Structure 1
Amino acid sequence: MVAVRYQTAFKLYPYARVPAQSQAPLRHPVVIVGGGPIGLALALDLGLKGTPALVLDDHEGAGLGSKAICFAKRTLDIAHRLGAAAPMVDKGVVWNTGRVFHADGQVFEFNLLPEDGHRHPAFINLQQPYFERYLVEAIKKAQADGAPIEIRGANQVTGITREKGFTTLDVDTPDGPYRIEADYLIACDGARSPLRDMMGLTFDGRVFEDNFLIADVHMKADFPTERWFWFDPPFEGAGQSALLHKQPDDIWRIDFQLGWDIDRKAELDPARIRARVDAMLSSQTGTVPEYELEWTSIYTFQCRRMQTFRHGNVIFAGDSAHQVSPFGARGANSGVQDADNLGWKLDLVLRGLADDSLLDSYATEREYGADENILNSSRATDFMTPKTEISTIFRNAVLDLAGRHAFARPLVNSGRLSVPCTYDGFPHFGPDALQGPAATRPGAPCVDAPVEDGFLLDHLHGRFTILALGCTADAVSAQGIDAGVVEIATPSDAMTRRYLGDAEQAVYLIRPDQHVVARWPGFDAQAIAAAIARAIGKDS
């Protein structure tokens, strides 16, 4: 059997034979299957912490097609911690504003980041191959600095054998097969996950009776860098909804809703696609500029997930664990949060500082995040594609009211856009002795804010951190973990709004993934030590 070879947008890690291919199976602490955004982010995070990570990818780099394009502020904050965000923002199209239209009239517009004092915008639009490319560039820089990360391109996993305490993988390459072993196997191999199928695991959920056409169009156009969404668009042949987004390099993403009972081959005919695009452009500008079709695809809305993301020492992340419809940009952004959650926990377990049971908290927390995304995605899809006459009447009434009354606008659902997950009530968080601003309560990710020498998140380096605002604190060691201190004597106005509220001072304990563990009105070393133990599952 010969490993499958794919066309790539960027050949980032060409196949190269390694000595392991002619040796007895070697054991690796972490093997990640899949070199997409989630697998690469996880490998980079682990490598920066000093934990070896091996990535096996059946490609030799980023695949063709823009795929995911909307990357949220939280994802950029994570990428910044990993040293990859700057080129993403430089290349990407920055946007904060969206507009919703019904037929030929605007219903309302919204700003996803109305408050200043943030390093990153609400979103950037960036084709997924670029996102992966910049992660690989950050990995190469980390490798040069000694980070133990390895990527093997054109290495296709064809078999898996579960052993006691480890997993054996059959890997096929252009030079033939070989075997490796993994203490922990992380499946980041996409929505069609071969690993999930090899293990006979289910992927349960809902397939919506609708199809959408993606057309990436290369053209010069004067549309603003905003998200435009139409219900019942006025351009001929568009269907029930349409979406327009600008990408880098004069590429415009256009989505057209096609309905359920379609001839996919006919709908992908370039002449038919061009007719739809022509009608859209003509309705907006009165003319049709010259353009080229860069990439087209048809997708069906699906909201599914595995029953559990952890199966012993095999752990699933990203689309292999959960899948949502594209509207709302919840897929890749949620997957990067998976990697962010899992990386530090794997690191502590492999270094013997936390019990293996800590990895169960990855599953429970990210399953909660997946359920949250699936709920929002399902509601958006039902609003966008009403299936009954009464549902259509309700949707159109909401749109009519929203054009005239602000109270109705939150009811309009054109795809609730990705937001970071907050783990309210989960056992590894708390206490909240401050009762401060809700946005930074235990379980929430830290909100960035200006500090004297940059931004707050610059000082949170993937380790447990004590944040002291308006007061002093000492470093705390507990359970073999050293929590350093970041003191901000005079918080900025933004910092005060986001972290202090009415309090004059506050102390926060922050996890390596920048989620707030607990907070207090002052420094208490014993309370912080107890919160560290709780955060890693050793509070009993």
Structure 2
Amino acid sequence: MNTRKALYQYGYRRCADQGRSSPARHPVAVVGAGPVGLCTAIDLAQRGVPVVLLDDADRIGEGSRGICYAKRTLEILDRLGVADPCLEKGVTWRIGKVFQNDDLLYAFDLLPEDGHKMPAFINLQQYYLEHALVERAAALPNLEIRWRNKVIDLKRRNDGATLTVETPEGPYDLDAEWVVAADGARSALRGMLGLAFQGEVFEDRFLIADVKMKGEFPPERWFWFDPPFHDGHSALLHKQPDDVWRIDLQLGPDADAKAEQTPERVVPRLRQMLGHDDFSLEWVSVYTFQCRRLERFVHGRVVFAGDSAHQVSPFGARGANSGIQDAENLAWKLALILKGEAPESLIESYDLERSAAADENIGHSTRSTDFIAPRSAQELRFRDATLSLARHAPFAKRMVNSGRLSMPSTYETPLSTPDRETWSGSARLGAPVPDAPMRDRSGRSVWLLEALGGEETILHVPNGSQPPAGSRVLILGEDLIDEHGFFTQRFDTSPGSTYLVRPDQHLAARWRHATPPLIESASRRLRGIEGDHA
């Protein structure tokens, strides 16, 4: 049930490709204007790659859907130029609380340290995020969004693919060197290629409701096992902007999905939880979910990203966050390939890295679901014993699983150069580099991730010798000044330390004392160029 009308609607416009005698050729066609498709298209366009973005709808705004966006996702959105409106509108939070019945089992802080530009999480209805992304996309000269352009056929070739696109004025064909399939869980492109998911389908049903009300609950994530208002099941509460609250209620595998969405069923459940009826329903759905993925994300020149490639349970906010990280991983690689700066085989590293990330997310989601909704008497006994111990034993608190919240992936792949020395600090090889407050040459405050942007970058701590050469080198103490010491601590610096950062801000290599051959080899390695990996 959806009581909200579309907030944002976009009109169909005839494009230059229609009516041509032969298909126009584009470097990249992205299919699907959800968060993943929009992020992919914006990232490519910012890197100088012309993009056509196709979507079969002409609107956004039906239901809030995804709402939780993690720190790493916000850092990516910041690089894409859309973090500010999201932060301004979103509800910032970092504290989570887990209850059993009325008792608080424990609380956790997702970002206990200072020195980061982005918060641990924000809650924001997906339609607000999509609107910010559409506005950003419209401002880029080499990105064209085509609404009400539905892909109805796909023919692959060795050098790309031909898409047949249906519009209100009839169909047309376009050729693309690369196609990004970001068309969601019911991906039409996946069906056109005859691809199937592998994994697990869960039978438990959950009611999800967006409720408009004035509430006294703080901006925290509250999760209940066996709450007094919903005996024998679980419940979850999140605050969203506009006095809207997200409520999830476990229903069990035998619930009637259609009946449970009616106000006659929903309102009494919510009244029992909230203790009053001073609320209205914005959006209601009943869902089951899957933890599944494609065996491969890359099929020639067609690449799958987001829900079209993998699906997880909603516990832990891993859906949209992992999809946006897919987009980030893919865009810089496609840009380098199209510019002739990397071999086409680099795209295999997208499959390798994001398949591993999907497996990690699916593993966390499956374990969370098994704990929240036990499917056997043995699993239920384990869950109840763990909850009982968690009241008194710190070790048991770590075993309580109400959804391991989204974290960025660490890529242990051939694109990284293995460490030769021992390092401490929070910077990890293959992981996104931690942010830090800095000052630039003019004394202006700047964040490390802002300074890195989306380019391959060498960070160097001087030691009196000649600094390393490279296409982009930032010298600590000259280009960037670590006045608060966060960079020094997080990167475990010493005189002569050198760090190579990928275009997606993951750490590719680091040395206590780098040499030009070592840096050149690591740079070639992160671009997938075969050769000596000294």
Q: TM-score surpassing 0.5? A: yes
2:258 is matched with which residue: 255, 260, 265? 265
- Contact 2:317/2:405 (8 A) holds in 1: yes
Q: CA separation in 2, counterparts of 1:293 and 1:184?
A: 42
Equivalent position amino acid for 2:120 in 1: A
How much does 1:484 deviate? 3.2
User: Deviations for 1:36-93, whole angstroms, at most 9, x for unmatched residues?
Assistant: 0011001111101111111000112324110100000000000111111111111100
How much does 1:206 deviate? 0.4
State yes or no: 1:195 paired with 2:189.
Answer: yes
1:228 is matched with which residue: 218, 222, 226? 222
Equivalent position amino acid for 1:518 in 2: A
Q: CA separation in 1, counterparts of 2:124 and 2:342?
A: 37
Equivalent position amino acid for 1:254 in 2: I
- Contact 2:460/2:473 (8 A) holds in 1: no
2:485 maps to 493
How much does 1:175 deviate? 1.0
2:418 maps to 431
State yes or no: 1:416 paired with 2:404.
Answer: yes
- Contact 2:74/2:118 (8 A) holds in 1: yes
Task: Output aligned runs, 1:78-89, within 5 Å.
Answer: 78-89=76-87
User: Deviations for 1:224-259, whole angstroms, at most 9, x for unmatched residues?
Assistant: 0000000111104x6510000000000000000011
Equivalent position amino acid for 2:197 in 1: F
SS of the residue corresponding to residue 411 of structure 1 reads coil
Q: CA separation in 2, counterparts of 1:435 and 1:53?
A: 43
2:450 maps to 458
State yes or no: 1:136 paired with 2:134.
Answer: yes
1:169 is matched with which residue: 146, 151, 163? 163
Task: Output aligned runs, 1:473-488, within 5 Å.
Answer: 474=467, 476-477=469-470, 482-488=471-477
Q: CA separation in 2, counterparts of 1:486 and 1:82?
A: 25
How much does 1:519 deviate? 0.4
1:374 is matched with which residue: 362, 371, 375? 362
- Contact 2:365/2:404 (8 A) holds in 1: yes
SS of the residue corresponding to residue 528 of structure 1 reads helix
State yes or no: 1:448 paired with 2:448.
Answer: no
- Contact 2:257/2:287 (8 A) holds in 1: no
Instruction: Using the aligned pairs only, state the percent identity.
Output: 51
2:108 maps to 110
Task: Output aligned runs, 1:347-426, within 5 Å.
Answer: 347-424=335-412, 426=413
How much does 1:7 deviate? 7.1
SS of the residue corresponding to residue 289 of structure 2 reads strand
SS of the residue corresponding to residue 189 of structure 1 reads coil
How much does 1:531 deviate? 0.5
Aligned residues: 518
Task: Output aligned runs, 1:24-423, within 5 Å.
Answer: 24-141=22-139, 143=140, 146=141, 148-236=142-230, 239-282=232-275, 288=276, 290-423=278-411
Equivalent position amino acid for 2:457 in 1: T
Q: CA separation in 2, counterparts of 1:163 and 1:139?
A: 28
Q: CA separation in 2, counterparts of 1:205 and 1:516?
A: 31
Q: CA separation in 2, counterparts of 1:437 and 1:243?
A: 37
Q: Which runs of 5+ in 2 are unaligned?
A: 440-444
Q: CA separation in 1, counterparts of 2:154 and 2:6?
A: 26
What TM-score, normalized to structure 2? 0.94
Alpha-carbon RMSD? 1.7
Q: CA separation in 2, counterparts of 1:202 and 1:59?
A: 24
Q: CA separation in 2, counterparts of 1:410 and 1:456?
A: 32
SS of the residue corresponding to residue 19 of structure 1 reads coil
Q: Which runs of 5+ in 1 are unaligned?
A: 1-5, 283-287
1:3 maps to none
How much does 1:455 deviate? 1.3
How much does 1:497 deviate? 2.2
- Contact 1:239/1:259 (8 A) holds in 2: no
What TM-score, normalized to structure 1? 0.93
Q: CA separation in 2, counterparts of 1:362 and 1:7?
A: 37
Question: Which has the larger displacement, 530-539 or 221-230?
Answer: 530-539
- Contact 1:530/1:539 (8 A) holds in 2: no
How much does 1:486 deviate? 4.5
